[in-house]
Amino acid sequence: MREITYAEAIKEAMIQEIRVNEDVFILGEDIGIYGGAFGVTNGMIEELGADKVISTPISEIAISGVAVGAALTGMRPILELQFSDFITCAMDQIVNQAAKIRYMNGGKGNVPLVIRTPGGSGAGFAAQHSQSLEAWLAHIPGLKVVQPSTPYDAKGLFKAALDDNNPVIFFEHKLLYNTKGEVPEESFSIPLGKAEIKREGSDVTIVATSIMVQRALQAAEQLAKEGISVEVIDPRTLVPLDIETIVESVKKTNRAVVVYEAVQRGGYGAEIASVINESEAFDYLDAPVTRLGGKAVPIPYNMNLEKKAVPQVDDIIKAVKSSLVPVTN
């Protein structure tokens, strides 16, 4: 199978859907001639036309409102927000409107909207352009939240998100855009709410999200050289969350480490840890569930400090080894 980048996989998914569904279009800042802040939409306006690839004014409030309105009238808009940090500018449209309109109208008005947005740190963009805000959105009833970690998942999950009749927040990590993987040329869909076992193991389960999936796999590779067998689970979607796959893995390994980039305090990893503790997997645990998240600081501009602010491979290795230490009363 051919290999393409994460960014190319998302672009291909968008082009394929726009071509077959006249209700689909994309709007956002600088997505036309400029090709988007990270080049994901590069060349799309020439290929599909300015009525399908709409460059907008620099106002997240305005373009989010337009996207919600378009969805309510039967369109299936794709909204690109240049950085996930800018979700904060559009919280009323997303949280108070998109997430609630269907419920408040007894199911009579759908909001089939996909909000694509790059999140996470590692690119030197500092505090206002490097946050991981997925826990905010996952907290809101009515929103679905997706975090693909591979090109294959990005394309398949995007198709599923666009087919959904609910608003979906589609977080794309900046550092993943240039990563490559095998992706079919034809359109395909990965169901929302279905996790994947990225690596099988027997000693400890790592549940990781987004860029942390790649780092968890690197950590697992190194730990294997020391005789430690790590299973890596990628939820792929936070809402809906595939609880069953996580629970069954923890029942097998008897230990769990949850790794995420966002600030550890109040992060989504706490939700996953609670799900494990409240499930039948609790009786199988040989150690408490370990959470490993980012430091409670704004992301620094300095690249060395930036790395210190979020989990790296060595941090994951230490967390796994700590979970393997026998618990004494």
The amino acid sitting at 257 is: V
Q: Report cis status (omega within 30 of 0) of the bond before 167.
A: no
Distance of CA 274 to the CA centre of its chain: 20
> From the candidates 17, 60, 231, 261, which is the catalytic residue?
60
Longest dimension (CA), the chain: 67
Report the alpha-carbon distance of residue 160 to residue 250 in Å, rounded.
28
Q: Is 129 annotated as catalytic? A: yes
Report the alpha-carbon distance of residue 20 to residue 186 in Å, rounded.
12
Q: Is 277 helix (H, G, I), strand (E, B) or coil?
A: helix
> From the candidates 129, 134, 173, 306, which is the catalytic residue?
129
Cβ neighbours around 177 below 10 Å, total? 20
Determine contact, residues 192/244, Cβ cutoff 8 Å.
no
CA quadruple 231, 236, 238, 243: dihedral positive or negative?
negative
Distances (CA, A) of 20 to 15, 162, 186: 9, 12, 12
For β-strands 230-234 and 256-263, DSSP reports them as: unpaired
Structure-block tokens of residue 68: 């919600």
Determine contact, residues 272/235, Cβ cutoff 8 Å.
yes
The DSSP 8-state label assigned to residue 291 in this structure reads E
Q: At what angle do helices 6-20 and 151-163 cross, to 10 degrees?
A: 30
Determine contact, residues 197/249, Cβ cutoff 8 Å.
yes
The amino acid sitting at 246 is: I
Residues serving a catalytic function are 60, 129
